[in-house]
Structure 1
Amino acid sequence: MNPTPTPVSGWAPYCGPAPAAGDWRWNLDPVLLLFMAGATALILMRTHGRSRGLGLAAMAVLGVSFVSPLCALSSALFSARTVHHVLLVTVAAPLLAEMAPRRRYGSLALATFVQAAVLWVWHAPAAYGAALSSDAVYWIMQLSLLASAVWFWAAARAASAPAAVVGLLAAMLAMGLLGAVLTFAGQAVYAPHAYTTLAWGLTPLEDQQAAGLIMWAPAAGLYLLAALWRLGRMLGPDLPAEAGVRPA
């Protein structure tokens, strides 16, 4: 059994101190597990059919983010933290938004701006450092990222197809630009990871660049795929009509 590592440089992240290489530590926080069990039970009792499947899928993604070894790994690697955040805002959030009633959720432009602003603010070095030194700030970060993303996806779902495509492309640009900034920063800027990446074979700068590439390509690409899907749905009904085929 690997010894429990000690906190580095005073940082005490919610997911625990940075694990040593090969230490795949699960987060068994009883409060978190109780909350997730309660949320899962509520989904099973109050939903059915497609909504139930979406809710259970969202809970599975949240479980990977907060319970699996990804949680502890995100204390060591900023790139792992980036995967964690990408799962929240581009996978769990749209699943939860799909469960919501189809109605207007305010201005899509405002929702797009708020989601981008929340994402950028929490990736500012000072705000990020605060989240890794206080459990309260950590959960404010996580909940604000998830809530703003759910609002954005729900607003995009309710908007007209052209507006949704514009909003999704704007979100893609916000994510991709943040990734590009981190990739080309030239120096590591996240103090909590200054001494935690070497055990995993990465310098702090390499870890930060990997995180930037994750945001720049696959994460931003998810918004692009959603925009293309929405565009395809907008154009699709005309195609069978032109061919003399009655739409289903």
Structure 2
Amino acid sequence: MSFEAFFSTSVCYGAGAPEAGWTLAFPITVPLAAIALTYAVGARRLWRRSSRGRPERTRQALLFAAGWGVLTGALVSPVHALGERVFAAHMIEHELLMAVAAPLLVAACPGAALIWALPAALRQGTGRLTHGNIFRMVWSVVSRPLNATVIHGIAIWIWHVPVLFEAALQQGVLHYAQHASFLGTALLFWWVILPRAGRQRAYGSAVMHLFLTSLHTGLLGVLLLFSPKLWYPQNAAGAALWGLTPIEDQQLAGLVMWIPAGLIYGGAALLLAGLWISKSGIREASHALRPG
């Protein structure tokens, strides 16, 4: 098998046409299967280790399964293959990665299960690595809310530069790099934004950065929707598959980025704002009840 064939995104099975098939390329299916297996092994070990916290572990496992399912659907189902020919399908795939799969996976808090799947020696080595000075210094920088928001935003905008976007369609390696950067920076963004135990005071910052992300992704969607010029002619080659002209395909893609994705970011911001107000009210009530 040649290098290009190995990295081809059109290794599909379906109803005769590649654009209608399932993508079964090894660089996609092997990591997905490895992640699922690793999580299952680690979760089982944690489950058998102690009966405490099992309801929470069950909730996390369900969230992980949902996130992994969305991730797999985006990368393996016909949505992926269609995305190479229909820009709107490509946009749907990207939004599934960044705005659906990523927050579900982060909310599942899979770190403990993934680490417990490793042999004891590797667990210890991973612990030493994550507690090393260099790792902690880099992580302290990238995990700041503003930095994570900017990194995720740069990944979104830079890959929508026409030259890079169409290059990714032509070269399998770049296509995987595009998806990896979208998913990786989205995981970082949602990990920083979503509240966790001990981080209740970060609600206000999270709401602001979700709002900023909704604004700049919505702006990109609006530019695509109202632009009279076709940005990615190559990606519109199969627009007729959905009964669209190339410019209508681009407009639909812009609408997908503007409205559904914006509703997810905006909805998350409203939810966190509600939790922030609720937590603040509870804290103020508890302070008021304390004896003076």
TM-score by length of 1: 0.84
Over the matched positions of the two proteins, sequence identity in percent amounts to 31
1:112 aligns with 2:149: yes
- Quote how far apart the aligned CAs of 1:203 are: 0.9
Matched letter for residue 153 of structure 1:
W
Between Structure 1 and Structure 2, whose CA radius of gyration is higher? Answer: 2
| Distance in 2 (alpha carbons) for counterparts of 1:43 and 1:241 | 40
2:183 is equivalent to residue 188 of structure 1: no
After TM superposition, give the deviation of residue 22 of structure 1 in Å: 11
Partner of 2:161: 124
Contact 2:194-2:206 within 8 A present in 1 as well: yes
Choose from 10, 13, 31 the match for 1:35. Answer: 31
Return the match for 2:40 from 33, 37, 44. 44
How big is the shift at 1:54? 2.0
Q: Give the Cα separation in 1 of the matches to 2:241 and 2:100.
A: 29
Read off the aligned partner of 2:175 and give its amino acid letter: Y
- C-alpha displacement of 1:131: 0.6
The one-letter code sitting in structure 1 at the alignment partner of 2:89 is A
What one-letter code is carried by the residue in structure 2 that aligns with 1:221?
A: L
Change (3 A) 1:78 1:16: farther
Does the 8 Å CA contact 1:77/1:207 hold for their aligned counterparts? Answer: yes
Look up the match of 1:70: 79
CA–CA distance in 2 between the matches of 1:177 and 1:13? 32
TM superposition shift of 1:239: 7.2
RMSD: 2.8
Q: Does 1:151 align with 2:188?
A: yes
Greater displacement, 164-173 / 40-49: 40-49
Distance, in Å, in 2 between the alignment partners of 1:33 and 1:144 is 18
Per the alignment, in what secondary structure is the counterpart of residue 132 of structure 1? helix
Match of 2:276 among 217, 234, 237: 234
1:166 to 208, 219, 241: 208
Where does the alignment leave 5 or more consecutive residues of structure 1 unmatched?
1-11
Q: Residues of 1 paired with 2:39 and 2:260: CA distance?
A: 30
Which residue is 1:9 aligned to?
none
C-alpha distance in structure 2 between counterparts of 1:192 and 1:16, whole Å: 19
What TM-score do you get using the length of structure 2 for normalisation?
0.72
2:20 aligned counterpart, secondary structure:
coil
- SS of residue in 2 equivalent to 1:186: coil
Deviation per CA, 1:168-187: give whole Å up to 9, x if none: 00010011000001011112
Higher normalized helix content (fraction of residues): 2
How many Å apart are 1:150 and its aligned residue? 0.7
Aligned residues: 231
Q: Counterpart in 1 of 2:101?
A: 92
Q: Which has the higher contact order (CA 8 A, sep 6+)?
A: 1
